[in-house]
Copies of this chain bind each other. A is one copy, B any other.
Amino acid sequence: MPRPEQHIFICTQRRADGHPRSSCAGARNSEALYTAFAEALIQRNLQNRIALTSTGCLGPCQAGANVLVYPGAVMYSWIEAADAAKIIEQHILGGTPWADKLTPAELW
């Protein structure tokens, strides 16, 4: 793809069940979150303007599932599949991060 206007990173780190740090994939079901973002981008015909990439651990495991948006290094925590559309509408398209879901400042 051409250089994207914005880039959404979804943590899909997976750890074993019962691991003390938990993980975004598996325990927090970030695989479904990735799919929700992918579908939401396609529905809005944004797949050639906005990049979507899975990642290893982004850091604040206790707050997963975590989603990171560049430019701006804006991180969202405790994100579920149902939140994908609002992040795209309000932040990616509207330019205003969704304040209620931002990762707490002590974690990022």
Among the 9-residue stretches A14-22, A53-61, A77-85, A90-98, the one with 4 or more Cβ atoms under 8 Å from chain B is: A53-61
Which chain A residues numbered 40 to 89 have a C-beta less than 8 Å away from chain B? 51, 53-59, 70-71, 73, 75
* A70 near B7: Cβ-Cβ < 8 Å: yes
Question: What are 27 residue pairs bridging A and B, where the CB atoms are less than 8 Å apart in the complex?
Answer: A1-B59, A1-B108, A2-B108, A3-B73, A3-B75, A3-B108, A4-B73, A7-B70, A7-B73, A9-B9, A9-B53, A9-B55, A12-B56, A51-B59, A53-B55, A53-B56, A53-B57, A53-B58, A54-B55, A54-B56, A55-B55, A55-B56, A70-B70, A70-B71, A70-B73, A71-B71, A71-B73
